[in-house]
Amino acid sequence: MGIPRPFDSVRYTVGRELVLDLLDEAPDRPPVAERPGYQQFTKELRAHADRHLDGTPGYFLLSGLDHLTEDQARRFAPLASAALGDLLPQDGRGTLLREVRDRGVELGEGLTGRYSDTRHGGNLHTDSPHRPGTVPDCFALYCVHQAASGGSLVLVDLRDLTARLGDRPDLLKSLEQPVHFDCRDDTPGAPRTVVRPVLQDTGGGTYRAHYLREYIEIGHGHESVTPLTAEQVEAFDALDALLADPALQQTDRLREHEMIFIDNRAVLHGRTPFTDGPVEAAKRLMLRTWITFR
């Protein structure tokens, strides 16, 4: 037996017949939400979320989906995500299922370049700190293709970070102050920044995280926005140093046709750099949904 990997203990198999039943669009079939199979699937998925997203380790996986075509995967991912809550749009066009792949851009490039459009690693973050309105409680990634090399997920529990920062209340206080995130949106009339804290105090000594440093630095680079203070920069440096600590990281690689659900409130994530191969089957492609719990 090989060495256990972080994903091994939270991987759940979905039956082939159930998946095909959910994807059956025959005109005589009832709506998916009314089918007993989907109702049972929803019950099981929410139990996994209660155990692993509200509890530990902050994520879980679905497997047994390798029989799906890419088109079927694009239909299954939103169905599975909707079992946990409401899907949120991921851009100004209202996209609910977004491709995460290398689009040949750099993080922060132009008005819209995003981490999910690059092949780079590092920059651990939460999803959607830059979007106005509701922030997703969790997100899902369906792996259609893996890269030729690299592209492992890197996950860090917020509770480990705040525990390490516990002896520096000044840093925690700085991270609780509102900052400007650049919205990465070129839609006419869209706001340039959104304001929220990196650490949102949710009571009882717990926090919710909103973080992607590059977007904060771009946001505070706008002429109308006050520059970051030395205290804020020190706090971000300390946070980034902890995020880069291998002792706090859980690193593993999704297999093709696996789907992972990650708590966006209390798990910061990133990936290792990746290199795509020359054919489509060796080009990393993830399908992402943003979910807010009902």
pLDDT tens-digit readout, 190-224: 889 999 999 999 998 899 999 999 999 999 999 99
**Residue 75 within any structural domain of the chain:** yes
User: What SS3 state is found at 204?
Assistant: coil
**Residue 107 within any structural domain of the chain:** yes
**Residue 20 within any structural domain of the chain:** yes
pLDDT in tens, 77-109: 999 999 999 999 998 889 999 999 999 888 766
CATH code of residue 191: 3.60.130.10
**Residue 34 within any structural domain of the chain:** yes
CA separation for the pair 127, 228 (Å, rounded)? 22
**Residue 212 within any structural domain of the chain:** yes
Does the predicted model carry a pTM greater than 0.85? yes
- 166-181 burial, b at 16+ Cβ within 10 Å, e below that, comes to eeeeebbebbeeebbb
Alpha helices in the chain (DSSP H): 16-23, 36-52, 70-82, 158-164, 169-175, 213-219, 230-243
* Residue range of the domain that includes 76: 6-293
Q: How many domains does the chain have?
A: 1
**Residue 1 within any structural domain of the chain:** no
Segment 55-62 mean pLDDT: 97
